Structures are given as structure tokens and as C-alpha cells.
Amino acid sequence: MAAEILTMPASATDMFRLDGRVAFISGAAGHLGRAMTLALASAGAHVIVNGRNDARLKDFEGELAALGFSAERAAFDVAEPERVRAFFSARSRLDILVNNAIAMTPKPFAALEQSDFDETYRSSVGAAFETVRAALPALRKAVDSTGDASVVNIASMYGAVSPDRRIYAKPEQASPFHYGPAKAALLQLTRHQAAEFGPSGIRVNALMPGPFPREQVAKDDPAFAGRLASRTMLGRTGRAEEIAGPLLFLASKASTFVTGSTLTIDGGWTAW
């Protein structure tokens, strides 16, 4: 029997490097969007930061450049299919696509309109569908070049479990009815996309963050922040930078045999 030929694995550092890769991140200037963009850029990727507010993106682009990172901005609404198609048709190659954007107006149950659901679904589920479809030629070019391309859809633990109303003492704090259902649909879209594009070498996975409140939340309402923390197994909420490692895993060579999966980052919230 012939001996099995062993190959040396890449070093731990090399597995997570993204040098020469091009990454597109929607909602890039937001709370978690900034952390994810910084993670990809610090790993060596050229980052395309997307959002609707060009002035905000320009400031962020400047911050990235000041840190020595390679970045460009693309100000358009991913909920507008024509803009999405026009942008990606001009890209020759795309290695990483992060669908993070979502538009949502928080409202109590009684005040919700169908238009609120339409906006949220269109900006998250619909946008994640359309960006991947429009980016397919560029993603396939990446596969031709490196053997791999990665799509990461940013979902939420509220796509898997319902909000515990006892935590949200104030109505305006509660997770809106149109948010969780949209994130649940995004998880299923991830599985469909993974099945569709797996034969092409394009991997599609989801990140499912748990409680990642802004720092200001703890300052303005420490009791609420404490209730959030008490629901996790670690007894605290997440820090924005803690999404970096999971994202880099899914975006890099470290996960080349991972697709159709959901990586949960919730401090154990959904595992009780």
C-alpha cells in the first residue's frame, strides 16, 4: 500500500491572512460594521466600505488610510437592485462579500406598518440575495485566481430565538417585530446560497451575533446593560472587536471546507 503523502499545513498566521484579497462590506461604518472592516483590512485585504451616507464613509475611509490600510468607499443603497448591479458589473474580482446592512425604524407592535417589514426585508434579505447574484462574476474570478471566495451574511441571535421581554423594561429597547424575522430569513437564504454556489467554489456562511450593545448603552442605562449581560453564560455582553476573529475565520483560508454554516457569537445566550 502506498504511503499517504502528507502536506505541511499553513502556519496559523498565514491561514488568516487576506493579502491581495478584495472585500466588500455593506453597512461598513456602523457599530459592528466598523469592527469587521478593521478586521479585514488589518489582515491585509483591500476593503470597499459601503453605506448610504457618503460623508460618513469618507471619514471612515480617511481613518483607514491613516492606519495604513487599503480602502475605498462605495456610497449607495444595497436595497436598490439597479445600483447594486451597476456597481458589481464594474468589479473584475471580489474575494469576500459581507452582507451586513439593514434598514429598520424601531416601532412598537401596534404602530408597525407593512412598509416597515418591506423596508427591513428589502435591505437585508433582498439585498443579500441581489448583491451575491450581481457579484457572481467577480466572485468566480476570485475562485479562478485563488481557489476560494467567501460570502458572509450577518444575522442575529433573534433570527433563532425570540427576545426575552423581561429584559426590555422600556418599549423602545425591545427588539422590533420586523427585525428577528428578517434575520431568520437571512439564515435560510445563507443555506440556499451555499447549496447553489458550492459547486462553483463560492462559500456562503452566516455570523449570528448576540448582545453587542454600544458602549454608550452601559453608560446611559447600566441596569439594562446588566440584564443583557445576565442572559449570557459569560456574564457579560460582547465587545465590537470580538466579532473580528469569527469573521476572519469565515473569510479566510482557515475555513475553506466550511459552507452553509452559522457561527454563533453570543456568549452562550442561545445555548441555555
Per-residue model confidence (pLDDT) at position 20: 97
pLDDT score for 67: 98
How much is the average pLDDT of 38-50?
Answer: 98
Distances (CA, A) of 106 to 103, 203, 261: 10, 33, 29
- Asked whether 40 and 25 are in contact (CB, 8 A), the reply is yes
pTM higher than 0.85: yes
Q: What is the pLDDT of residues 85-130, one digit of tens each?
A: 999 999 999 999 999 999 988 888 888 899 999 999 999 999 999 9
pLDDT one-digit tens code per residue, 158-200: 999 999 988 987 767 778 899 999 999 999 999 999 999 999 9
| The predicted structure's pLDDT at residue 241 | 97
Domains, the chain, in order of start with CATH, read 15-271 (3.40.50.720)
Q: How many helices (H) and strands (E) does the chain have?
A: 10, 7
Q: Chain-wide mean pLDDT for the chain?
A: 94
pLDDT higher than threshold 60 for residue 252:
yes
Output helix, strand, coil percentages for the chain, rounded to the nearest 5. Answer: 50, 15, 35
Ranges of H-type helices in 43-94: 54-66, 81-89
Chain position carrying cell 498566521: 13
18-40 average pLDDT score: 98
Say which amino acid occupies 261.
S
Short-list 237, 232, 254, 236, CA closest to 245: 254
- 2 pLDDT above the threshold of 60: no
Mean predicted confidence (pLDDT) in 62-80: 98
> Is 179 tagged catalytic?
yes
What does the alpha-carbon distance between residue 28 and residue 60 come to, in Å, rounded to a whole number?
9
Q: What is the largest CA-CA distance in the chain?
A: 71
How does residue 3 score in pLDDT terms, banded at 50, 70 and 90?
low
Q: Identify the band that residue 68 occupies on the pLDDT scale cut at 50, 70 and 90.
A: very high
**Cα distance between residue 270 and residue 57, in whole Å:** 34
Q: Determine the pLDDT at residue 10.
A: 66
- The pLDDT value recorded for residue 53 is 97
pLDDT at 12: 76
Cell numbers 447594486: residue:
84
pLDDT band at 6 (very low <50, low <70, confident <90, very high): low
pLDDT digits (tens, 9 = 90+) for 216-234: 988 999 999 999 999 999 9
pLDDT at residue 15, as a whole number = 94
Long-range own/partner contacts, residues 106-111 (CB < 8 A, 24 or more apart): 106/172, 106/176, 107/176, 108/171, 108/174, 109/177
What is the rounded distance in angstroms from the CA atom of residue 203 to the CA atom of residue 199? 9
Q: Which residue has the cell 442572559?
A: 231
Query: Degrees (nearest 5) of the Cα angle 6, 10, 15?
Result: 145
Confidence check: pLDDT of 212 > 70: yes
| Residue corresponding to grid cell 474580482 | 93
pLDDT score for 1: 47
153 pLDDT above the threshold of 70: yes
